Chains A and B, each alone.
Chain A
Amino acid sequence: MLIRMNDITKIYQTDEVETTALNKVNIEIKKGEFVAVMGPSGCGKSTLLNIIGMLDNPSSGNFFFLDEDIAGYSESKLADIRKQNIGFIFQSFNLIDELTVQENIELALLYHSDVSAKERRQRVVEVMERMGIAHRAGHMPSQLSGGQQQRVAVARAVVANPHLILADEPTGNLDSVHGEEVMAMLHELNKQGTTILMVTHSPTHAEHARRTINLFDGHVVTESLRAAE
């Protein structure tokens, strides 16, 4: 089991308002699954992703990653688990404006002390070729189209060979053609064995997933399974 969440609750607190973003959520994700998360704005999708990505801590409940309860892990230990296992893709691409395409992708390997500089460069070139952006290696993000930027982001997410890719509305800022392209890439990655958890508003894109979790007001309301193709 890759992910097991038991009664995960997340409450955001400001001075006057208390907002429950997740309310006793129980989710299990196996290795190699492709899961879509759907729901209206504010239902807790992004919070769920952030907790799974270990960018945020739950207020209560247990979260097991690879059967390890990560509660109480230090920030640096979590950063370590994250960089070994998880890749992120965002709606707004989130590339660093000051770095080139190649350098942005390289970033994902930069904090891996076990990867030598030579190997790093090699893997970045490979993944750029796979994603069809090798000819853009020296360009800055601002010189690329949205679709190209998202390919760079996907390349960055996969270059470290993570077990899990968390995609937060990866097609949200793309037109349908580029959106389909990105979905095809994710599909391909999943076929090669990478677990994918994707938040999306698009029912069409959700169909790429084997399983869809519907969230509403912080609760899991339905889970639907699709038969294998």
Chain B
Amino acid sequence: MFKNYLVAALRSMARQRLFSAINILGLAIGLAACILILIFIRDEVSYDGWLPGAENIYRVEMMANIPGRDRFVTSQSMPPLKDAFLTDFPEAQTATRLFYDPVGVTAGDRSFLDSFMFADATLFEVFDVPFLEGNAATALADPNSVVLSETMARKYFGQGSPLGKTLTIVYDVARDYRVTAVTKDLPNNTHFILDAVIRINPADFLTDEGQNQLERWGSISFYTYIRFRQGTDLTAVGERLNPFMDRHFPTSITDRMNMTGSELFAPKLVNTRDIHLYGGERGTIKPRGSVATLIAFGSIAGLILAVACINFINLSTARASRRAKEVAIRKIVGASRRELFVQFQSEAFLITGFATLLALALVELALPWYNEFSQKLMAAQFAGDPVVQVGLLGLLVVVGMGAGAHPALVLSAFRPTRILGATTSGGEGSKNLRTVLVVIQFAISIGLVIATSVIYAQTSYARNFEPGFIRQNMLVLYGIRRNEVKPVADTLVEQLRRHPDVLSVTRSGVVPGDSGWVHFSVRRPGEPDNQSIVMSQLAVDFDFFKTYGISLIAGRSFDPARSVDIFQEDDGSPQKSAASAVINMAGVKRLGFASPEDALGQVVITVGANQTDLTIIGVVHNAHFELARNTAPATVYIVERDDTGPITVRFKSSDLPGFLADIDRMWNDLVPQIPISRVSLDQNLTALFAADESRGQMLAIFAGLAVLVGSLGLFGLSAFTVERRTREISLRKVMGASVSNIVGLLVWQFSKPVLIANLIAWPVAFYFMRDWLDGFAFTIELGPRYFVGAGLAALFVAWVTTAGHALRVARSSPIEALRYE
């Protein structure tokens, strides 16, 4: 029985090659897109699931509620939190802190600048990662041990076991470390990076004044991970988190804000497996995933599949009359409707099966490119993964049913007498449904095209945003605060200034595009500490505004001739220190001055252990250091040489490689032991949007695929319609219609659904895109051009796909068609 079905199906497919090809190709492209998206989603939700005991490992994150700033969640916490937590929560079995910082590494005669993990000795008690050499118990037993991943071990030592070999690692001071273990490279779907680990050395955290930074609750700089005992009631633990914070957080900080510790920073436990998608958005180790993105991509996968299924339904029901005779004969020889339904449904499964095979081949071809694109490594998880296999089978069933059920119902319902007796054929009744489905297809395509163009426009707007400072032809040099560089920093700056291509040089605490902004609290004179206001603080030197092209609105800039312009930390002398400050317009507003001029000469006082009077000498325009993402925060600029780090060089150069070589040479002459670390400011800023951009491109590609699949279907459907109307068209021609009349008539038939589709797609797309744009501080205007543009594009696609058929039939001699009838 099934053999007979199979034979009939295969031969009927072979007979109607164009339609079979469109059906299979359309479904295959749709399925391939869907599989790619599902692989992406699967990868995103699988983070850290491989980690043994992941269910018991939690990261302590902080929900920050700093007055005057938007609330945010940071994935980092305070250095002393770990020990306090272990003391207060017996449920915690063990815990570790960790952070990442670049260090200079010397292996033999080669030097590197690499990011290392600094962790507590308990790191591998928390994270049970696989070891190639050495073991978890002894890996970090010694303060001077270093653990390398297999890739890093190869990088430093080549082939052969690195155990026992020595690395000289420079972090403030140079120390020798012995390799004690090699870990397997962690899978890509891990939220943290384990390239190279050394232990946190308390000696590195003593300030010149002898303060231990590891005891500071005011610093949020470490990741804290807790491993709870099996069976711990996390709800009970969660209830005790806020009191815990209130107990430990220093009142010296909270009192002046009139808040409790947990009101300022509420701790939150996030399970390791949830970190990638639900962890704090700030200070992440790797770029965070987003549930919204997953939902968006999942919906797109569904929409593309819907478009492909609609093709199948439309082409099958449109061509049903071709199979009508077969249905009639089968019924006459005794086939029941159920048997026929099974037959046609099996055919749909057969076609879906072919399409799935083709889709798998397409996926296999696309994966390398796709991995690069989404910055993932998903090939390995794809083939043997039972979840993927089950998912694939489910997809096949859903698509086979979705695409095949309706045509099978229609076909199996044909009455034999009507087909064999009369000349009218079946399938006419589905015409309205077909039109509705074509409208839906186009609405989906138009909606996706609108979304894509809006996202593209916004991303490019944000990337090219006029930020209020110069971003082109700016070079940033990092690593200036390192101990080897610090002594020669001034010399370096001087040498840079003397280069003929250099226009201006400055140093600042951070540069645009970086994290690590410092905040402090200030208050107006006469106001109590608890009325203080939190502002961003940026340490700069005298040439900062000049180099960055940030213009003054009122007052003056810093002047090297006036010693009062230089900020001095309170040295403990009874006299209060004083300094000059420049604020931005957001600062003027935040501090409550009526105008920039009003702010001049006013004093604000820094709040905390070291109180300094800051006299506002100038007001500058807002500079958007995070580009369009956030509004510029209220900022205080001060001149504080000790707090400045990276050097920014503004240059004009017709020979960039030559210029960069000069800079490199300058650096190497001064600090040969450490490789230069430089980046263009524009790159640094653009990196902020790398994730957005790659998502945008993915969306564009999938939207393009949806349109392609839809137009494939329209192509098939128009071929069919034109064929069906051949006789009518011939009669019209006999009556005197011109070729253009005929083409117009047919093209209009397919333009109508597109126009109706716009009416559906526009409001839906508008709603979703406005919602998306709301996440940005500065946005493009959601004007009509995106909508009209997408509509016109869809119309154009409809015309191109249908005009060919229309033209062919319009040009043919009418006699042929009529004689044929």
Whether a CB of chain A sits under 8 angstroms from the CB of B203 is no
Asked whether A82 and B336 contact (CB < 8 A) given A90-B420, A110-B4, the answer is: no
Asked whether, in the complex, the Cβ of A110 is within 8 Å of the Cβ of B1, the reply is yes
Question: Chain A residues near B7 (CB, 8 Å)?
Answer: 98-99, 103
Whether a CB of chain B sits under 8 angstroms from the CB of A221 is no
- Which stretch in A64-72, A73-81, A173-181, A212-220 binds the other chain? A73-81
Asked whether A94 and B328 contact (CB < 8 A) given A55-B417, A99-B8, A107-B4, the answer is: yes
Q: How far is the CA of A88 from the CA of B331 in the complex (A)?
A: 11
Question: Chain A residues near B326 (CB, 8 Å)?
Answer: 96, 98
Asked whether A82 and B4 contact (CB < 8 A) given A46-B421, A50-B421, A75-B337, the answer is: no
Asked whether, in the complex, the Cβ of B329 is within 8 Å of the Cβ of A82, the reply is no
Q: How far is the CA of A50 from the CA of B333 in the complex (A)?
A: 13
Asked whether, in the complex, the Cβ of B11 is within 8 Å of the Cβ of A80, the reply is no
Whether a CB of chain A sits under 8 angstroms from the CB of B110 is no
Whether a CB of chain A sits under 8 angstroms from the CB of B819 is no
Asked whether, in the complex, the Cβ of A106 is within 8 Å of the Cβ of B420, the reply is no
Q: How far is the CA of A83 from the CA of B336 in the complex (A)?
A: 10
Asked whether, in the complex, the Cβ of B332 is within 8 Å of the Cβ of A98, the reply is no
- Contact residues of A between 82 and 117, Cβ < 8 Å to B: 82-84, 88, 90, 92, 94-99, 103, 106-108, 110-112
Nearest Cβ on chain B to A140's Cβ, whole angstroms: 9
Question: Which listed residue, B1, B4, B329, touches A94 by the CB 8 Å rule?
Answer: B329
- Contact residues of A between 147 and 164, Cβ < 8 Å to B: 156, 160
Asked whether A111 and B336 contact (CB < 8 A) given A94-B328, A96-B8, the answer is: yes
- Contact residues of B between 23 and 79, Cβ < 8 Å to A: none
Q: How far is the CA of A52 from the CA of B8 in the complex (A)?
A: 29
Nearest Cβ on chain B to A85's Cβ, whole angstroms: 10
Question: Chain A residues near B329 (CB, 8 Å)?
Answer: 94-96, 107
Question: Which listed residue, B11, B15, B415, touches A55 by the CB 8 Å rule?
Answer: B415
Question: Which listed residue, A46, A53, A94, touches B325 by the CB 8 Å rule?
Answer: A94
Whether a CB of chain B sits under 8 angstroms from the CB of A28 is no
Asked whether, in the complex, the Cβ of B336 is within 8 Å of the Cβ of A107, the reply is no
Q: How far is the CA of A160 from the CA of B335 in the complex (A)?
A: 13
Question: Which listed residue, A92, A97, A111, touches B333 by the CB 8 Å rule?
Answer: A111
Asked whether, in the complex, the Cβ of A98 is within 8 Å of the Cβ of B15, the reply is yes
Asked whether A76 and B336 contact (CB < 8 A) given A90-B420, A94-B420, A96-B325, the answer is: yes
Question: Chain A residues near B328 (CB, 8 Å)?
Answer: 94
Whether a CB of chain B sits under 8 angstroms from the CB of A223 is no
Q: How far is the CA of A90 from the CA of B328 in the complex (A)?
A: 12
Q: How far is the CA of A56 from the CA of B328 in the complex (A)?
A: 12
Asked whether, in the complex, the Cβ of B417 is within 8 Å of the Cβ of A79, the reply is no
Name the residue of chain A whose CB is nearest to the CB of B332. Answer: A88
Asked whether, in the complex, the Cβ of A111 is within 8 Å of the Cβ of B335, the reply is yes
Name the residue of chain A whose CB is nearest to the CB of B9. Answer: A98
- Contact residues of A between 177 and 229, Cβ < 8 Å to B: none
Q: How far is the CA of A96 from the CA of B327 in the complex (A)?
A: 9
Type the 1/0 row for B299-330, where 1 means its CB is closer than 8 Å to any CB of A. 00000000000000000000000000110111
Asked whether, in the complex, the Cβ of B334 is within 8 Å of the Cβ of A80, the reply is yes
Asked whether, in the complex, the Cβ of A112 is within 8 Å of the Cβ of B334, the reply is yes
Question: Chain B residues near A55 (CB, 8 Å)?
Answer: 331-332, 415-417
Question: Chain B residues near A110 (CB, 8 Å)?
Answer: 1, 4, 333, 335
Name the residue of chain B whose CB is nearest to the CB of A56. Answer: B417
Type the 1/0 row for B1-17, where 1 means its CB is closer than 8 Å to any CB of A. 10010011001100100
Q: How far is the CA of A75 from the CA of B337 in the complex (A)?
A: 8
Whether a CB of chain A sits under 8 angstroms from the CB of B339 is yes
Asked whether, in the complex, the Cβ of A107 is within 8 Å of the Cβ of B12, the reply is no
Asked whether, in the complex, the Cβ of B331 is within 8 Å of the Cβ of A79, the reply is yes
Q: How far is the CA of A70 from the CA of B233 in the complex (A)?
A: 71
Whether a CB of chain A sits under 8 angstroms from the CB of B216 is no
Asked whether, in the complex, the Cβ of B11 is within 8 Å of the Cβ of A99, the reply is yes
Asked whether, in the complex, the Cβ of A97 is within 8 Å of the Cβ of B15, the reply is yes
Question: Chain B residues near A103 (CB, 8 Å)?
Answer: 4, 7
Question: Chain A residues near B416 (CB, 8 Å)?
Answer: 55
Q: How far is the CA of A112 from the CA of B333 in the complex (A)?
A: 10
Whether a CB of chain A sits under 8 angstroms from the CB of B498 is no
Question: Chain A residues near B335 (CB, 8 Å)?
Answer: 79, 110-111
Whether a CB of chain A sits under 8 angstroms from the CB of B338 is yes
Nearest Cβ on chain A to B350's Cβ, whole angstroms: 14
Asked whether, in the complex, the Cβ of B11 is within 8 Å of the Cβ of A79, the reply is no
Q: Which of A55, A103, A112 is most buried by chain B, counting CB atoms within 10 A of its CB?
A: A55
Q: How far is the CA of A107 from the CA of B333 in the complex (A)?
A: 7
Nearest Cβ on chain A to B322's Cβ, whole angstroms: 9
Question: Chain B residues near A88 (CB, 8 Å)?
Answer: 332-333
Type the 1/0 row for B385-423, where 1 means its CB is closer than 8 Å to any CB of A. 000000000000000000000000000000111001100
Asked whether, in the complex, the Cβ of A107 is within 8 Å of the Cβ of B330, the reply is yes
Q: How far is the CA of A143 from the CA of B421 in the complex (A)?
A: 24
Question: Chain B residues near A97 (CB, 8 Å)?
Answer: 15, 325
Nearest Cβ on chain B to A151's Cβ, whole angstroms: 16
Asked whether, in the complex, the Cβ of A79 is within 8 Å of the Cβ of B8, the reply is no
Q: How far is the CA of A76 from the CA of B421 in the complex (A)?
A: 21
Q: How far is the CA of A82 from the CA of B331 in the complex (A)?
A: 9
Nearest Cβ on chain B to A177's Cβ, whole angstroms: 26
Question: Chain B residues near A95 (CB, 8 Å)?
Answer: 329
Q: How far is the CA of A53 from the CA of B332 in the complex (A)?
A: 8
Type the 1/0 row for B419-438, where 1 means its CB is closer than 8 Å to any CB of A. 01100000000000000000
Asked whether, in the complex, the Cβ of A79 is within 8 Å of the Cβ of B334, the reply is yes
Question: Chain A residues near B339 (CB, 8 Å)?
Answer: 111
Q: How far is the CA of A216 from the CA of B7 in the complex (A)?
A: 44
Asked whether A156 and B325 contact (CB < 8 A) given A96-B8, A98-B8, the answer is: no
Q: Which of B15, B329, B330, B337 is most buried by chain A, counting CB atoms within 10 A of its CB?
A: B329
Nearest Cβ on chain B to A149's Cβ, whole angstroms: 13
Name the residue of chain B whose CB is nearest to the CB of A107. Answer: B333
Q: How far is the CA of A43 from the CA of B420 in the complex (A)?
A: 17
Q: Which of B325, B334, B338 is most buried by chain A, counting CB atoms within 10 A of its CB?
A: B334
Nearest Cβ on chain B to A51's Cβ, whole angstroms: 9
Name the residue of chain B whose CB is nearest to the CB of A92. Answer: B420
Q: How far is the CA of A219 from the CA of B553 in the complex (A)?
A: 105
Question: Chain A residues near B332 (CB, 8 Å)?
Answer: 53, 55, 82, 88
Asked whether, in the complex, the Cβ of B333 is within 8 Å of the Cβ of A76, the reply is no
Question: Chain B residues near A80 (CB, 8 Å)?
Answer: 334, 336
- Contact residues of A between 15 and 45, Cβ < 8 Å to B: none
Nearest Cβ on chain B to A229's Cβ, whole angstroms: 31
Nearest Cβ on chain A to B340's Cβ, whole angstroms: 10
Asked whether, in the complex, the Cβ of A83 is within 8 Å of the Cβ of B337, the reply is no
* 6 A-B interface contacts by CB (under 8 A): A55-B331, A76-B338, A79-B336, A99-B4, A103-B4, A107-B333
Task: Taking A56-B417, A75-B336 as given, write out 20 further A-B residue pairs in contact, using a Cβ cutoff of 8 Å, ordered by the A residue number.
Answer: A46-B421, A50-B421, A53-B332, A55-B416, A56-B415, A79-B335, A80-B336, A82-B334, A83-B333, A84-B334, A94-B329, A96-B326, A96-B329, A98-B326, A99-B8, A99-B11, A103-B7, A107-B4, A110-B4, A111-B334
Residue ranges of A at the interface with B (Cβ–Cβ < 8 Å): 46, 50, 53, 55-56, 75-76, 79-80, 82-84, 88, 90, 92, 94-99, 103, 106-108, 110-112, 156, 160
Nearest 8 Cβ contacts at the A-B interface: A83-B334, A98-B11, A111-B334, A108-B333, A76-B336, A50-B417, A55-B417, A79-B336
